Amino acid sequence: MPTDPDPNLSRLLAIMARLRDPERGCPWDIVQTFETIAPYTIEEAYEVADAIARGDLDDLRDELGDLLLQVVYHARMAEERHAFTFADVVAAISNKMVRRHPHVFGDAQVASADEQTRSWEAHKAAERAVARKSDGPRASALDGIAVTLPAMTRAAKLQKRAARIGFDWPDAADVLAKLDEEVAELHAELTPDPPRQRDPERIEDEVGDLLFVCVNLARKLDLDPEQALRRANAKFERRFRHMEAAAAASDAGVEGLPLDALEALWRLAKDAEKRRG
């Protein structure tokens, strides 16, 4: 970290220290812990992504500030425990970026962004292996994938790691066949033969398997499953709001309408979207 840091950053660090001061700080901030602040950290990261998706750079500036505050917050709590400081955080990420970019800060050569991605992952794998050796247990190709990630994102990361050692479907067509198999297994649980009472746990397992394969299909098609689902969410929301507006225009509301009337409004919303283009 520079010896003469930006005064705004120094001010932010001082503000956080004052907020956490046991005698003069904010009662709410004083009692917070890593565990209680973590959900806010995740929320702020999503709000950054939302500002980017909306193309709102003014909002992005504000959201990045909120996210930076989260880093400062965690670093301050760690400093209070004499574990590490904000300067240590900055030094650690600076060292990591230099270490993982030998083609920029050293003599290595990479020919493309794809090659750099492979090199980056190789560096990460080597670092995990070193860390595992110091800890004792044998390293796994799946080490380092945070369990707190959104389930769909974590599924994609697990699949990518497995694919690096060759545990992967040859192409998307094979995944589609697996998808059909999982749908059939779910159908068998929903309509068992011979008839028996439905087992919620087994149904949950089958739905989970189905979602996992859907993530795999997106990966094989070079799609981000989270982004694909966000687009589907946005599409559903647009069409549903169109339904509500159409119903309101006819002095009605969607509440209480029979399903066939709702389906008709849904088709109108789809047709209007197609006409817009």
50 neighbors 41 (Cβ within 8 angstroms): no
Q: What range does the domain containing 253 cover?
A: 228-276
d(CA 221, CA 235): 21
Residues 15 and 74 in one domain: yes
Q: Report pLDDT for 119.
A: 80
Residue at 175: amino acid letter: V
Q: Are residues 161 and 206 in the same domain?
A: yes
Both tokens assigned to 151: 């389930």
Are 28 and 109 contained in the same domain? no
Same domain for 36 and 117, yes or no, is no
- Regarding whether 17 and 93 lie in a shared domain, the answer is yes
Specify the number of domains making up the chain.
Answer: 4
Q: Do 90 and 123 sit in the same domain of this protein?
A: no
- In this prediction, residue 1 carries a pLDDT of 45
pLDDT at 64: 98
How much is the pLDDT for 117?
79
Contacts of 22 (CB under 8 A, 6+ apart): 30
| 118: nearest Cα among 148, 149, 172, 163 | 163
Mean pLDDT by 10 residues, the chain (277 residues): 74 98 97 97 94 95 98 98 98 94 89 82 75 66 89 94 94 96 96 92 97 97 93 94 89 84 93 84
Residue 28 to residue 271: CA distance in whole angstroms: 51
